[in-house]
């Protein structure tokens, strides 16, 4: 990773201003002094979140050339960027499709859908754009925070459950699922479902996750197979199994 030298001797101070809450001022100051934020700008990534996927992939070797990848909650595009880089196979364009209800600036090598993943039409559109079934489903989705920890946890867990359901319905045998969750316990039913459908399931906290953050990632590796799932293997433009 480049940009390490940029961290030396630089401390940004945000002045107190009328109309700006002290908590907001401290957050902005912390953000501007975050070495991952500086590094993401130097390396050309859309956000510091790119390094979370990089660190997880460096450890678990998930992304491989030629893989088909679905990125749920893609904005602003950091995970799509990393997925394209790590799945590109020679001159062949990689198969990476991202979806978010927020607009995402174009990323060479990726298809971006501007729609809500909770829309009933989203799964079909994702598979059509991908041209086959995914090797990996990634989800960095999190519900907008309310400030009430329990409420935020429940809302993000709902997104985690919907993403997991999509993964089990669409993944190729041997595929992987990676999703954001929060400390405070993964719902028992979800964890049981993943353990039933994947060879291994465990929590991961990459170094790029901020200290003190309740954020965790749930990694389910090696999908056991498609028995009983509702989406047919021939769904999608390519009809590839």
**Dihedral (CA of 56, 62, 65, 70) sign:** negative
Given the residues 180, 195, 196, 221, select the one marked as catalytic: 180
- CB neighbours (10 Å) of residue 235? 19
DSSP secondary structure string for all residues of 147-167: S-HHHHHHHHHHHHHHHHHHH
Delimit the domains of the chain by residue range: 46-223
Per-residue pLDDT of the chain (241 residues; tens, 9 = 90+): 333 334 444 454 444 555 555 544 454 445 455 666 677 676 779 888 999 999 999 999 999 999 999 999 999 999 999 999 999 886 666 699 999 999 999 999 999 999 999 999 999 999 999 999 999 999 999 887 777 777 877 888 899 999 999 999 999 999 999 999 887 665 788 999 999 999 999 999 999 887 777 789 999 999 998 654 544 444 433 333 2
Tell me the binding residues. 77, 79, 100, 116, 140
- Residue set of the binding site for S-adenosyl-L-methionine: 77, 79, 100, 116, 140
CATH architecture of residue range(s) 46-223: 3-Layer(aba) Sandwich (3.40)
What are the phi and psi torsion angles at 181 (to 5°)?
-145, -175
| Residue 180 bears catalytic tag | yes
Q: What is the DSSP letter of 225?
A: -
Tell me the sheet residues that pair with 110.
Answer: 96
């Amino acid at each position: 990773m480049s940009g390490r030298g940029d961290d030396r001797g630089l401390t940004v101070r945000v002045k107190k201003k009328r109309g700006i809450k002290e908590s907001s001022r401290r957050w902005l100051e912390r953000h501007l002094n975050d070495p991952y934020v500086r590094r993401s700008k130097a390396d050309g990534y859309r956000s510091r979140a790119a390094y979370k996927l990089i660190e997880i992939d460096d450890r678990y070797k998930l992304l491989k050339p030629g893989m088909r990848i679905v990125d749920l909650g893609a904005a602003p595009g950091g995970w799509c960027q990393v997925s394209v880089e790590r799945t590109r196979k020679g001159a062949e364009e990689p198969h990476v499709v991202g979806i978010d209800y927020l607009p995402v600036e174009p990323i060479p090598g990726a298809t971006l859908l501007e729609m809500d993943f909770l829309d009933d039409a989203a799964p079909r559109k994702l598979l059509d754009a991908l041209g086959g079934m995914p090797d990996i489903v990634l989800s960095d989705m999190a519900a907008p925070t309310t400030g009430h920890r329990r409420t935020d946890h429940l809302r993000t867990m709902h997104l985690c459950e919907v993403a997991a359901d999509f993964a089990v319905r669409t993944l190729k045998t041997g595929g992987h699922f990676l999703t954001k969750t929060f400390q405070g316990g993964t719902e028992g039913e979800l964890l049981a479902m993943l353990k039933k459908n994947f060879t291994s399931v465990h929590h991961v906290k990459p170094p790029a996750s901020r200290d003190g953050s309740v954020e965790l990632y749930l990694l389910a590796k090696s999908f056991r197979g498609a028995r009983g799932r509702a989406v047919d293997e021939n769904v999608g433009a390519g009809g590839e199994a």
